[in-house]
Structure 1
């Protein structure tokens, strides 16, 4: 068994979001997968089993917990498979349902695209919103007046927290333990997407990730997909539209995530990945 290491949503090994990838995990127990993910210390690692020419089963583990769905580890897995067996399309069986994973060569490198499950968007109770902002250490004057705080799902539930300007995003310094308790109590097992709008379809984001045992995620494909679903539900974009999310620069690992927002159905998240030496 080989544990591969890839950085996703980047074209450089020291950028994007690192992920562990195990392409043959049939002999591993969930406890062993969890131990590998903890040892790597990456935001998530992906484990493939029951591989066939047309698909596989995939599971995702953060250092402290199993995660239902992970965008960047799926992109890393797609690139790893394509580099070894050629590009094509697979259907992955995940805890949240089947995902289509496509790979193609673009300009000499492999680009992977995944289609999420059907998304949904919902409001957030006022008291929960207040506690969320408290743990994020954000005042009402720092939150966007145009885009509301809401919950959005495209494989994971992500609270979407738009802020007024880039300075608020740069200075984000949240209460890790308080946010971890709140997220556990609410069943939010992924990240909080704190976002700032740079243009009609361009955002920058920071993603605290206490449930996984990671202070901040450098590139979060599922959160970018959830942001796309949020924008579509609110009529903030005219589908089909392409959303670009910049993330990770604040933790020294810049990334770019592309999300195709269709008129209906799941979001298409795309990006490349680079093998991390060692």
Structure 2
């Protein structure tokens, strides 16, 4: 398990990270979200040793992370960390060697990834000759070429179309299935919600929420959606019912308790057919807006 424990980072009078703590469990995707300047990239750089924390520590499998530990991590920076004028297979081979792979093994692993991404016939192309989407594929390949023990990915799905996102997610799932913890940041909340087991929300350098998608959704008020024959305007006069939205035969309401919900359902059925009645699944984006206001 990868753990960030009470990490603070200051730059002069600016506190970029303020007592940040969270865990990235083995074999799971943890989404790291927050607005620009929230501190996500700074946190990832500290995990990788690019920056040192002012206080606090990063832990790996229960002990303070070492240089040898970090050599086994795969990292993808938000700013592409590859050389634009170098052939892509040569770069993947070089990255594998930096992680301790033999040259032949690194080249074979890089070639396998390029073939998988449909770039096997472009191994000698310079990175700058590729489309932005293909550059992103090569960047992800560079992060995983050494079969890392942990993955730290800063905006890995940026610039990818939905098919490419599924392609990359399938690749990364192969690592989580082997127990590799994966931390990735993204501004695409719908994507984080769909792909991640756990989510950490950062705002102004502080963790303001963390948990599973289900836990975060359940932490706010629960609404129910009702669809029935006839106008549902009568709901406005029912004690214990707060009407959120009402459009004729459809409504979204909040109940004071379960007993009120059951009473409203019985009343609705007495008035005619009820086509649907159940809790509204809140998108992560709604929760995110609430906690970051």
User: TM-score, normalized by length of structure 2?
Assistant: 0.27
The structure whose residues are more often strand, as a share, is: 1
User: TM-score, normalized by length of structure 1?
Assistant: 0.28
